[in-house]
Structures are given as structure tokens and as C-alpha cells.
A and B are shown apart, each in its own frame.
Chain A
Amino acid sequence: DSGVTQTPKHLITATGQRVTLRCSPRSGDLSVYWYQQSLDQGLQFLIQYYNGEERAKGNILERFSAQQFPDLHSELNLSSLELGDSALYFCASSGAGTAWYNEQFFGPGTRLTVL
């Protein structure tokens, strides 16, 4: 158990819909990262937040947005969903924004299926 929790575990929805994925980082971790894992693209970094502020952006679509709240939990919002958004979405957290090495702790993931 990494200490990172994600809800829900599974989500099935239809094209065009909007969903919110939730992540609670390990206690004390200020950084939260979101990754997407699909069959054709592998594991891809989407976005990072550090203590409520966006810190780094990866291959995140404009239809996707994220935020980190004062209690440090984070939400990833996916809108106008397409079939290709079906994937595993992982959240990870780490201990400090300026960590000299990059140990990230991953949650169990949310499996999103868009029908």
C-alpha cells in the first residue's frame, strides 16, 4: 500500500460526458502527479501540482483539467469524453517539490471506460 488513494476504482460513462477523478496523496506529500495509461500510448505524464499550484504540464488535452485543494487532495476533470480517453488514470505523490531524487508513490488507479 503506497498510501495514495484514488476514487473511484472503476468508472463507466458515455461519450460526451464529464467525470471527476479524485486523489488523496500520502500524508505530508505536497506534490501530486497525474498519469494516463492507455494500451496504445503507454504511461504518460499529464500534469503536476505542488502545494496547490500547477508546476509542470505534460501531454494533457485541453478537455482535461486538474486542481489541488488546500487539503492537498487533487481532482482530475475530464470533459467531452471520447472513446480514446478510456484508460487507467494514476495519481502519484512525492515528498517535496524540490526533491533531489524522484521517488513517486502511485495510487491504485482509476479505470475509465468510455462507451
Chain B
Amino acid sequence: DAKTTQPPSMDCAEGRAANLPCNHSTISGNEYVYWYRQIHSQGPQYIIHGLKNNETNEMASLIITEDRKSSTLILPHATLRDTAVYYCIVSNFGNEKLTFGTGTRLTIIP
């Protein structure tokens, strides 16, 4: 699986959009980008995934660059409950194990 690079920490004001970057410059053509988050010591929670098109769901939006070497997770209106560690994972089609890196610790500031 391709390696990912994320900033170790970020702050965002409550109510603003939180934009979390991820670099995956060695991604290959059949690898998907997944985002999970872990609130405190709870089990990780799936957020969104994408291959090459931008994706949106009720939780977030995922913007993948045209060359697929980086992506950005956007939480449109961050709340205090969005404070968590966010993991960007790149994984092959059919490879079901998740390889978590160190993630980005996002803190939402009131």
C-alpha cells in the first residue's frame, strides 16, 4: 500500500471549515483513498473514500487532485465533536486490512 503523509496536528475554529491535507505521492492506479477518524480512545470511524473523483457525504467532502498524489478532507462546519485524530489511508482494491499511519490530531477551538 502507498504511504501517506499528514501534518501531525491542526487547529480549526468552531463553525469554520476544517481542511485536512494528505500526501500520497506513490499512490498507484487501483488504490483508493480512505479517511477514518478516532475520537479520543474510541474505535476508529469511517468517514469517506474515493478513487479519483471528488466525493461528498453527510460527514465530509474529499477532494483528490487530478494526479491523485494528494487529497484534502473537508469538514464543512466543524464542531467540538469533530476533535479527533484523522487518518488518511491508501489501500488496494481487494486489500481489506487498514494500515494506519500517525494521522492528524485536529482540535476544534470554541
Q: Tell whether, in the assembled complex, residue B43 and residue A102 are in contact, meaning their CB atoms are under 8 Å apart.
A: no
Q: Tell whether, in the assembled complex, residue A42 and residue B99 are in contact, meaning their CB atoms are under 8 Å apart.
A: no
Chain B residues whose CB sits within 8 angstroms of the CB of A100 once the complex forms:
93
Assembled-state Cα–Cα distance A104/B43 (Å): 10
Assembled-state Cα–Cα distance A107/B94 (Å): 22
Q: Tell whether, in the assembled complex, residue B99 and residue A102 are in contact, meaning their CB atoms are under 8 Å apart.
A: no
Q: Tell whether, in the assembled complex, residue A48 and residue B43 are in contact, meaning their CB atoms are under 8 Å apart.
A: no
- Secondary structure at the B interface, as helix, strand, loop or mixed, is loop
Chain A residues whose CB sits within 8 angstroms of the CB of B45 once the complex forms:
2, 106
A29 to chain B minimum Cβ distance, whole angstroms, is: 12
The tally of residues in A whose CB lies under 8 Å from a CB in B reads: 31
The tally of residues in B whose CB lies under 8 Å from a CB in A reads: 22
Select A102's contact among B38, B41, B87, B96, beta carbons within 8 Å: B96
Assembled-state Cα–Cα distance A55/B96 (Å): 9
Assembled-state Cα–Cα distance A2/B38 (Å): 13
Q: Tell whether, in the assembled complex, residue B46 and residue A90 are in contact, meaning their CB atoms are under 8 Å apart.
A: no
Q: Tell whether, in the assembled complex, residue A43 and residue B93 are in contact, meaning their CB atoms are under 8 Å apart.
A: no
In the complex, B44 has a CB within 8 A of chain A: yes
In the complex, chain B residues 43-81 whose Cβ is within 8 Å of any chain A Cβ: 43-46, 49
Q: Tell whether, in the assembled complex, residue A109 and residue B43 are in contact, meaning their CB atoms are under 8 Å apart.
A: yes
In the complex, B17 has a CB within 8 A of chain A: no
Other A-B contacts than A33-B96, A56-B96, 13 sampled, CB-CB below 8 A, are A2-B45, A4-B43, A42-B102, A43-B38, A43-B100, A44-B100, A55-B96, A97-B96, A99-B96, A101-B32, A101-B34, A102-B49, A103-B49
